[in-house]
Amino acid sequence: MALKIIASMCTGCSACEPECPNVAIREKGGTFIIDPAKCTECEGQFDSPQCVAVCPVDNCIKSA
């Protein structure tokens, strides 16, 4: 269970990075990636995945 950022859609704005409660997001080559080993999809932590809620691009972050 993990989310994935579609690199071609990512603007590199970094909004998601500090919101992740699991510190699973980092920058790589101008865009951001999610470490699937750390991602919990915010289950049990928040109502909805934080990265999805803050991302300015619709459908940029999807289930891996």
Asked if 6 and 41 touch (Cβ cutoff 8 Å), the reply is no
- Asked if 57 interacts with other proteins (CB under 8 A), we say yes
- Asked if 29 interacts with other proteins (CB under 8 A), we say no
Asked if 47 and 56 touch (Cβ cutoff 8 Å), the reply is no
* Measured distance CA(61)–CA(30) in Å, rounded: 16
Closest separation between CB of residue 51 and other proteins, Å?
11
- Asked if 54 interacts with other proteins (CB under 8 A), we say yes
SS3 call for 63? strand
- Asked if 31 interacts with other proteins (CB under 8 A), we say no
Q: Which positions lie near other proteins, rule CB under 8 A?
A: 9, 11-15, 18-19, 46-48, 50, 53-54, 56-57
